[in-house]
Structures are given as C-alpha cells and as structure tokens.
Amino acid sequence: MKEKIQRFFRPLAFIPNPLAFPENSTKFFGFIHRLAALAGCFYLRLVGFTTSIKFYGAPLPPPAGTLPPPQGANEPADVGQAPPFFRTGQRAGQVIYVIWHCQQAFLIYAHRGRGITALASKSGDGEYAAQMLERFNYVLVRGSTSSGGLRSLIQLIQCARDGQTLAITPDGPKGPARKVQKGAVYLARKTGLPIIAIAGALSNKILTRSWDRFQIPLPFGRAVVAYSAPFYLPQAAGLEESAAELEKVLNETGLKAEELLEKG
C-alpha cells in the first residue's frame, strides 16, 4: 500500500511526498498550511469586499495613570473605515486589543495592514493562523498559555517596550470559551498599556462545532466592529477579579455590536 501511495505522488513533483522521509512530511504539511492560509486570505478578502462594514467607537487611549470606568462601545465614529489611530505605530496610540477567539477570523481581516503584534499558538491551527496573519501584515509572536507561555509573554512585553501595539485572544487557544486567562491580565499589568476590547457582529456567518463555536464569515452580508472605551486594569486588584472585569467588558462590547447590527 505504501508503495502504491508513493507511486501516486511521484508525478506530482511540486508536492513533497509525505511518506518518503520524516523531514519531507514536515515540508508537506508546511506546504498545506501555506496553501490553506493563501486560500483563507483570498476568502476573507472576498468576504470583506462584499460585506458592508461599519466601525463604532475606538477613542484615543487616555493619559497614562488614569482609570476611566470600563464602558461599551461609544457612538459611531469614523463609520465605514477603521479609526485613524490604528494606522500609527507611535506610543501615543499604543494599546492592547483583546478579542474572543471565536471572532478572530473576520477581525483579523478588519485590522489588516496595521503592523499590529499578534500572538499565535504553536499548534497546527496556530500555524495556519500565523501564515494568515503574516499575509495581512501582522507582526508575529509564537506561543500560548499552554505551550511556550512564559517565553511568549516575555516577547510580548518586550514588543510593548519597543512601542508596538499588541493583540491577543484571552480565551485562546483551547479555552474555556469566553473565559479570560491569567496571562492576559499579567500582560496588561506588566506593560501598563490601556486595553481596548473589540467585538464583531456578522449578519451572515457559520458557527462551527469547535470548543468556542468559531465564526466563519460569509459573503454578501453586513458587519459591525465595535470597540470599548480604553481602560486600565487596576494594579491592586486580584488576577481573578481583573479577569472577570475584562470578560465583562468584552461581553458588553459584543452585545453592543449585535445591537448596532440589528439597528442597521
């Protein structure tokens, strides 16, 4: 059987034979990830091109040291295009963006080309996401809370010190869904950066059966991207208390996005 499979793959010279050598197997799956990422980027561009997208909220971050109360998304600002401070790499606009893992597909597209530093896990799914993020001009840090967590946190902290804006999924990569993990709280405290929660609402989407009910956007629909007001996590609060506060803001922003989508 193995010889038959090898003979089948032999005419396809441009695809490494996964059964020949272990290293070729790695190359083969690397090729599959690149191909899937290319198809995914093309699909998201198609969705974006055929979708009416509105952005709500996203004021400039507050001065350092202030602690405004967490809020939902503000009234419409710069509807139809991403807020202007997303286009800057200056420290004045430096923040940590947090999104739920299930919504990342469309939100990755919505914030493409900004040079935002994003965290991608080292799993197979993470490799696929990393390839897509690179094609959309994100800066990558590889790791997660379950694999390479400490190293990735150190890298993210260093990126923040270098003036980069960060984006993380605080419930990724394995959940529980919509539960903030302590690493996200630690990162916010250590960097001292304000946090902005981002949520997306889609009129056309498919919900998968994954652990987080991952959302796959469909073309020819409407979308709302909502932002919370920027806020800081109090240094004196406990990790669990701060995680609960962050969950609350993310969920409130999500509800606001859904309401705005219904209003049209």
> In the Cβ-directed half-sphere of 11, how many Cα atoms lie within 13 Å?
2
Tokens read off for 77:
């600002």
**Mean pLDDT to the nearest integer, 51-57:** 93
Do residues 52 and 220 make contact, with C-beta atoms less than 8 angstroms apart?
no
Q: Quickly count helices (H) and strands (E) in the chain.
A: 7, 9
**Mean pLDDT to the nearest integer, 242-264:** 94
What pLDDT score was predicted for residue 6?
Answer: 45
Give this prediction's pTM: 0.78
- Give residue-wise pLDDT tens across range 91-142: 557 899 999 999 999 999 999 998 999 988 777 667 788 889 999 999 999 8
Do residues 168 and 143 make contact, with C-beta atoms less than 8 angstroms apart?
no
79 pLDDT more than 60: no
- Give residue-wise pLDDT tens across range 184-240: 898 998 998 999 999 999 999 999 999 999 999 999 999 999 999 888 888 888 888
Listed in sequence order, the residues at least 6 apart from 242 whose beta carbon sits closer than 8 Å to its beta carbon are: 185, 188, 189, 233, 234
pLDDT above 90: percentage of residues in the chain: 50
59 pLDDT more than 60: no
What pLDDT score was predicted for residue 57?
Answer: 86
Lowest mean pLDDT of 91-95, 176-180, 237-241, 257-261, name the range. 91-95
pLDDT band at 89 (very low <50, low <70, confident <90, very high): very low
pLDDT band at 69 (very low <50, low <70, confident <90, very high): very low
**Mean pLDDT to the nearest integer, 143-170:** 83
Mean predicted lDDT score pLDDT of the chain:
78
pLDDT band at 152 (very low <50, low <70, confident <90, very high): confident
Tokens read off for 183:
């690493």
CATH (residue range 17-263):
3.40.1130
What pLDDT score was predicted for residue 183?
Answer: 86
What pLDDT score was predicted for residue 197?
Answer: 95
What pLDDT score was predicted for residue 160?
Answer: 93
What pLDDT score was predicted for residue 87?
Answer: 37
What pLDDT score was predicted for residue 74?
Answer: 38
How far apart, in whole angstroms, are the C-alpha atoms of residue 161 and residue 99?
A: 22
Q: Residue holding tokens 């980027």?
A: 41
